[in-house]
Structure 1
């Protein structure tokens, strides 16, 4: 029950020329503004709603049980009228029920069109419900109630009909959608204006990546007018947000225009795999290689003196390989590699790989080679090679081939000798035949100057038993093949 306030009159007594003048001014109905959806309520001292209302105030609902008394000061207990008026936004509109109860008369209007008419003096409460369809937008409802005699009571409501078989009207698209992105937290806050729907059930927030349609499954459902997305991938990609309203009948509005957010990139690429030694004897270093990583802009190489040791950053490269020029020959190192994307995010480290830089420097040339003829061949002798990692000597024997301008020793390996051996007896040479010889030193990394350069110091000699030709006993040096 919403009791009316008493209207007061002001009495003014004036003294003029020794006479008393009395004037009583009735209170006028002041202009009253009521914020929608609150009703403006007017009280009339008649049943025709004529003249100036005795009182005007605001009323949240039409629900009164005045009984047999006057509803407000200055009104009679019978033959009075009360009018409620409200203009409000119905959003997308739709089906509504207008239930009323009254004793005595009641009329209900929608935009001036009468929808309910129970206009008679009764001794018991009369009831009625009328179903109407309210268009979208703003509309005005007016309720006129009169009491002729006896008790007075009245109630009215306008209620959305929300069953799916009745309500087929979609809510309006939420207005004012916006999104704010916080790079520090990687969160996006989506906001929108409150929907005008009276049967609104809530909102659905959608997110989809750039270049893809909006997803059918909402990211979140809420009854608020904002949502903070804490699951946004921090991958440097662009995502869009949209909002849809849905009502109690299950109708969903169209979506707002997509609002873009470009995230910061804090997602590292995958760790490199396939780490291996591409070439342990590459000139001036040891070369590593690995499989390319999608999204990697560069790679970082880390090295330790043991697999479980402390890894320090060795260098970087834009290619899936790296030459460790600082690795000491013969020392084992462990390596790990990471991938780095364009935003500077670094991946986890690869599995460790242990490798040793091979010696790529061949021993110095063998010197002092002599071929001394014997009864059945030649006795070869040479100086001990100074290489500390000498593995063996390879003795080559062959024949001199000449085209008239150049002579070449066409030889093949005749023997492999231990590093402490500096002589070799070459036999089974027919008397008087000429042979060419050279000796190559090979180290423990299988470096060979002859195989590296194709050159060697050659000695030519003739087996005794036939007249010696001039010059055949001299030492001859030159290319070998």
Structure 2
């Protein structure tokens, strides 16, 4: 027997949980039994009964639910049999997320989260029974309660709760770290960051990030499990830097950053000259870019149309790229850039670079034609147009009015398209592009990839996938131009059906639908379809689908639309009831008759059954009104609601 363990005192007062009328309630513990246990330590209560009623015989703290009392009493003053032990703890789960609760016991164990039962193994057993459940815990503070009872014999119990840390399961990011602060020591040029520890159980650590004021790019400085970090890499340039802390868990989820914490360093150096200045000519602007300078707060761009100037300033900006929309058209322009820091210190200018804004598009390619159209693709060829063409763009559309899709870029005078659907006529467009990005008007030609013996059909598109009762119904669509001779339906219990495995073949058909009877243990299969050409070339597999499962539903109600009378009979005619996909067939109709209005199934004086949609109903009393309503019955034995009531008087 393991006696009750001694645990460290907690910070908050005990809350005694009791059951009243089957509902969980809270009541203050007697002053003499007050015990405080610091979360996440459990408060443990021992009861000399299995209903957790009355005052606990003992209350203490327990760091884990893991006991094996054997056949002895769990604590002094408790019986060996018919006793109960309750563990409770309220803790902060941070952002929450997916957890696994695991419990085992001999005899009974129940686990509650915020009063909701999550595990229920509540029976007198001769051996230890256990189970696990996966669940999602919301953010914030929550209360766990574990109830264990031993009726007779040996007693043992164990309960654990742990986050699920697989990246495929856990998509919940930690909360943003709280209490972030930064202090700067100008003498050492160091910044120290501190923050409060997160509450998530699957927390892996923190990332410390820094960015220069005026930029949006964050640099990760370090990963740490501590709650402080000292940055010793700050440039002493007078620039302002911002820090943020991001928490990350074991599944790789990362929180949002803390609010920016800024420091301004001492300004001791002037910025360097911007390097790698480039000027790319364009149709609408000359595009400038350069490498960022450490400590730069802004950049000045100047322009001239002569080698020795004069230069005029055309922009002051914080970024490292500039589009000169006012550049002179078709005239060479020289550009230089210099950096300036927050204190106003300016670097020397960079060496000049030249660009000419080009607004003239090249001519379209000449003599575009389909050089070959075979079962593996289409080859296009053309001749050059302008000497300033640097590349050609190739587009494809399913019709001259359809949207164009770019399928290639080439610096040669030909292009091979092997991605088109066999048999599909395409309109191909080819344009010429110069160095400034000016694109010519298109040349066009129509060509078709031939349907050959090696052409594969397009993948079927699965639409309807249902199981109603014991009936499976699948239907799919088949597109493309490759003739299809049949389909193979595959199934497996894997979410993605392996259609290369012959063991997964379920059925073959020439139709685009399949209806089968399935057993109750076959409802968890996923299905996929492969099309076959006349040459037995397989298409790619359709997407794998898991059919929806539903019970057969009563059929919809009908409507009586014709009534005919004789002296002793009334003929009723009603609409046939349609059925949905995979729904049971209609096997017949019931006609309910009463001599009083408001006929119901319960008080009808006559009930007639027929497989058709009309019936002569005998009416013994001529001249008396009769009231009728009709229902439909399906193969599952389910009956519809009654039709709207109609009445008729025989003999009139």
TM (norm. structure 2) is 0.38
Among 247, 250, 256, the residue aligned to 2:249: 247
Please report how far the alpha carbon of residue 267 of structure 1 lies from its aligned counterpart in structure 2 after TM superposition.
3.5
Rounded to whole Å, the distance in 2 between the matches of 1:270 and 1:78 is 83
Alignment of 1:4-403 (within 5 A): 4=4, 30-215=33-218, 217-267=219-269
Partner SS, residue 235 of structure 1: coil
* Contact 1:29–1:52 (CA under 8 A) maintained in structure 2: no
Rounded to whole Å, the distance in 2 between the matches of 1:270 and 1:253 is 36
| Change beyond 3 A, Cα 1:121–1:266 | same
Please report how far the alpha carbon of residue 257 of structure 1 lies from its aligned counterpart in structure 2 after TM superposition.
1.2
Rounded to whole Å, the distance in 2 between the matches of 1:264 and 1:135 is 46
Please report how far the alpha carbon of residue 260 of structure 1 lies from its aligned counterpart in structure 2 after TM superposition.
0.6
Aligned to 1:3: 3
Rounded to whole Å, the distance in 2 between the matches of 1:129 and 1:5 is 25
State the 4+ residue runs in structure 1 displaced beyond 2 angstroms. 1-6, 265-271
Q: Which ranges in structure 1 are unaligned for 5 or more consecutive residues? A: 7-26, 272-293, 296-340, 346-481
Please report how far the alpha carbon of residue 44 of structure 1 lies from its aligned counterpart in structure 2 after TM superposition.
0.3
Rounded to whole Å, the distance in 2 between the matches of 1:5 and 1:231 is 50
Partner SS, residue 220 of structure 2: coil
* Contact 2:42–2:88 (CA under 8 A) maintained in structure 1: yes
Rounded to whole Å, the distance in 1 between the matches of 2:102 and 2:87 is 15
Please report how far the alpha carbon of residue 265 of structure 1 lies from its aligned counterpart in structure 2 after TM superposition.
2.6
Please report how far the alpha carbon of residue 219 of structure 1 lies from its aligned counterpart in structure 2 after TM superposition.
1.2
Please report how far the alpha carbon of residue 269 of structure 1 lies from its aligned counterpart in structure 2 after TM superposition.
7.0
Partner SS, residue 69 of structure 1: coil
Rounded to whole Å, the distance in 2 between the matches of 1:40 and 1:234 is 54
| Change beyond 3 A, Cα 1:64–1:155 | same
Rounded to whole Å, the distance in 1 between the matches of 2:265 and 2:187 is 10
Rounded to whole Å, the distance in 1 between the matches of 2:241 and 2:111 is 50
Rounded to whole Å, the distance in 2 between the matches of 1:219 and 1:199 is 22
Higher relative contact order (CA 8 A, sep 6+): 1
- CA-based RMSD: 2.7
Rounded to whole Å, the distance in 2 between the matches of 1:342 and 1:218 is 24
Please report how far the alpha carbon of residue 237 of structure 1 lies from its aligned counterpart in structure 2 after TM superposition.
0.8
Rounded to whole Å, the distance in 2 between the matches of 1:342 and 1:173 is 31
* Contact 1:29–1:55 (CA under 8 A) maintained in structure 2: no
Please report how far the alpha carbon of residue 214 of structure 1 lies from its aligned counterpart in structure 2 after TM superposition.
3.8
**Structure label with greater radius of gyration:** 1
Figure out how many residues of one structure are paired with residues of the other and give that number. 258
| Change beyond 3 A, Cα 1:2–1:264 | farther
Rounded to whole Å, the distance in 1 between the matches of 2:237 and 2:186 is 12
* Contact 1:93–1:137 (CA under 8 A) maintained in structure 2: yes
Rounded to whole Å, the distance in 2 between the matches of 1:143 and 1:342 is 61
* Contact 1:210–1:240 (CA under 8 A) maintained in structure 2: yes
Rounded to whole Å, the distance in 2 between the matches of 1:2 and 1:255 is 47
Please report how far the alpha carbon of residue 249 of structure 1 lies from its aligned counterpart in structure 2 after TM superposition.
0.7
* Contact 1:43–1:83 (CA under 8 A) maintained in structure 2: yes
Per-residue CA distance 1:288-321 (angstroms, 9 max, x = gap) = xxxxxx99xxxxxxxxxxxxxxxxxxxxxxxxxx
| Change beyond 3 A, Cα 1:236–1:99 | same
* Contact 2:88–2:145 (CA under 8 A) maintained in structure 1: yes
Rounded to whole Å, the distance in 2 between the matches of 1:101 and 1:187 is 53
Please report how far the alpha carbon of residue 3 of structure 1 lies from its aligned counterpart in structure 2 after TM superposition.
2.6
| Change beyond 3 A, Cα 1:342–1:75 | closer
Please report how far the alpha carbon of residue 85 of structure 1 lies from its aligned counterpart in structure 2 after TM superposition.
0.3
TM (norm. structure 1) is 0.51
Partner SS, residue 158 of structure 1: strand
Q: Which ranges in structure 2 are unaligned for 5 or more consecutive residues? A: 7-29, 274-294, 297-340, 346-652
Please report how far the alpha carbon of residue 174 of structure 1 lies from its aligned counterpart in structure 2 after TM superposition.
0.7
Please report how far the alpha carbon of residue 169 of structure 1 lies from its aligned counterpart in structure 2 after TM superposition.
0.7
Partner SS, residue 78 of structure 1: coil
* Contact 1:92–1:135 (CA under 8 A) maintained in structure 2: yes
| Change beyond 3 A, Cα 1:71–1:207 | same
* Contact 1:4–1:73 (CA under 8 A) maintained in structure 2: no
* Contact 1:164–1:249 (CA under 8 A) maintained in structure 2: yes
